[in-house]
Structures are given as C-alpha cells and as structure tokens.
Structure 1
Amino acid sequence: MEGLNSIRRLVQFHPNILTPKLHSICLLVVQEVQNLQSQVSRVAVATLGELYHHLRHAMDPELDWTAKTLLQKAGESSRSIREEVEVALRHMRHSCTPSCALKALINTD
C-alpha cells in the first residue's frame, strides 16, 4: 500500500516522472487491483483513477486493459471497492480521449 500511495503522490505532484515508465507502472497497479486483500485492491483502484485524472491522454494506450480490469472489479461484493471503481471510471471518462475510452469499454470481454 505504501508503494501505491507513493505512486498517487507522484502522479499528483510530479506526473512527468511517471510518464516514461507508464506501462510498467500500470502493470504493477493492475496486479494490485487483483489483490485478494480488499484494502490493497481498493487503494490500487483509486491509484488507477488518479493516473487517469492526472495523466489524461497519456493513459490512452493503457485504456484497453486497465478498463477491462476495472470493469471486472466492478462486480465485487465490497461496496467500497465498487465505489472506487465508479470514481476511477468517471476519471477515465472525463480525462481520456472519448473515442479511446469508448473503444476500451466496448472491447471488454
């Protein structure tokens, strides 16, 4: 959780540091979204939302698989996780290119 919170702080205050390694960072965050501990998973979902919100169009190449992960997590029984997924998807919708976001949502199997 400490690493996820560090990523959240970096993306808020120094987003240019994360941009060169964005794909690797997204891979790490998505792994934690799938963590069995709900608290870790919830923070990872919130971290994805922060990445969408602050990096905006830079997240477009990562949309296909990050959106799929969020949509899978939306079926969780935990209310707090579902709420975080909703916030993250809202950030995605407002921050990313609309055509890329729509494509990512439609192509999710």
Structure 2
Amino acid sequence: PQQSLLQALSLLRSDDWEVKEKGLASIKHLAGSHSEVLLPRLRDICLAVTSEVTNLWSKVSYMAIVTLGEFFATLKQDMDSEVDEMVRVILRMLRNSPEFVEKAASQTLGIMVENHALARLCCCCSFSLCPSVCSPLARSCHVQVQKCAAELLLSLLEKIGVTELAGTARAGRLAHAAGTLALDRHKDTRHYGQEMVKMLLNHQEGKILLERSVPARDL
C-alpha cells in the first residue's frame, strides 16, 4: 500500500489528464481499503487531491471530488482540519460545471455533513455566504452555489441543533447568514434561510443570536 501511494502521488504530477485520473482513482481505492497509509501524510495528500478539483479536465475534477468524498467517509474526524478549504473549493464547482461534476460535488458535501465537525462546517459555509465578510468571488456566487450552500447550512443546523451551535465561537456568523438568506431574491435559497430563522427563533439562544446579528426590521 505504501508503494502504491507513492506511485499514485507521482501520477498526479503528470501533465496527462488520463494519468492524473488514474492516480486519483488509486488514492481513492487506498482510502477505502488502506486508509491508515494516508494518515502520516494526510495534509500533503489532501492538498494534492484538492488542487485537482478545479482541473479544467472535467473527468479529473470529478475524480478528485469523489476521492475527497471517500476521504470524508472513511477517515472521518481525521479530516476535520481539512474541511474549511475543501468546502469552499467544492462549492465553487457548483457553477459552470458539467452536470456530473455538480452532482458529485453535491454528494461529497452531503458526505461532509454526515461525517464531520458540524460546527466547523457551519462556520465555513456561513463565511462563504455572509456578504459582509466574504471575498469578491463568494459575493458573486452563482445562484446554484448559493442554493446548495444554504441547503447545506440548514442540514447542518438541523443536525447540530441550535443549543450546541450557540456555544461555538462564530455562531453569530451563521445567524447573520441565515437572516441574509431569508431575504434572498431566489425562492429556494430564501426558503432555506427562512427555515433556519424559524429554528433559531424557537430557541432562546438562537433568538439572542439573531437579535445581535440581524437588524430588527429584517426579523
């Protein structure tokens, strides 16, 4: 397995897209069958795979995304420190990508929700959606990106619960994002935001978060 990993990483350095795809497939297989081999070099491996998510060859991008999904499914909490950047990169693939790439991105985000530090994901996704703090790239997100990220945030909030969320360092950021999404001009995105606001208002801690983060006229 160790030799297979070294060989797979060397394949990723190739300029040939088919060779890259083969390397990613090999790493995905190792994650499922010999995940312990990845742990000593997990950071470097994650960087190598994540860098291929935005590859212009859609088959390479697809394989990188599903490989990350395998990482999150099998390595679970060992991947927590890698979540933030990966969420941002994968969300980016939900715009102007082939349908099969978008579908893979959505599925991988779903795997993240099921297997990882939910408070970290909440903070990461709300950071991507919050207009006052996000980058110019995030502010110009495609409608599909906004919708998917909003749906992901709602799933996270339902899973983690308002009480636990209120105890996290950046809970106010999610409350701000929820309030912003609840006023979005797009129906589906607005729906997810409104559902989050309802959940927050049903808990004293959540209500306080909203009052601190969202203008009273918007509640």
State if a TM-score over 0.5 links the two structures.
Answer: yes
> Match for residue 27 of structure 2?
7
Percentage of pairs with the same residue:
31
The residue type equivalent to 2:62 in the other structure is R
The structure with more radius of gyration: 2
- Note the aligned Cα RMSD (angstroms): 1.0
Matched, 1:43 2:68: no
TM-score (norm 1): 0.94
1:32–1:40 contact (8 Å) kept in structure 2: yes
Q: Point out where structure 2 has 5 or more consecutive residues left out of the alignment.
A: 1-20, 129-133, 135-219
Correspondence list, 1:1-109, <5 A? 1-108=21-128, 109=134
Structure 2: distance between partners of 1:5 and 1:77: 20
Structure 2: distance between partners of 1:76 and 1:7: 27
The residue type equivalent to 2:64 in the other structure is A
Cα deviation per residue 1:40-81 (whole Å; 9 max; x = unaligned)? 111111111111111111111001101110011111331000
Going by fraction, where is helix more abundant, 1 or 2? Answer: 1
TM-score (norm 2): 0.48
Instruction: Report the alpha carbon displacement of residue 20 of structure 1 after superposing the two structures with TM.
Output: 1.4
- Runs of 4 or more consecutive aligned structure 1 residues displaced over 4 Å after TM superposition: none
1:77–1:34 Cα change, 3 Å: closer
Count of matched residue positions in the alignment of Structure 1 and Structure 2: 109
1:60–1:101 contact (8 Å) kept in structure 2: no
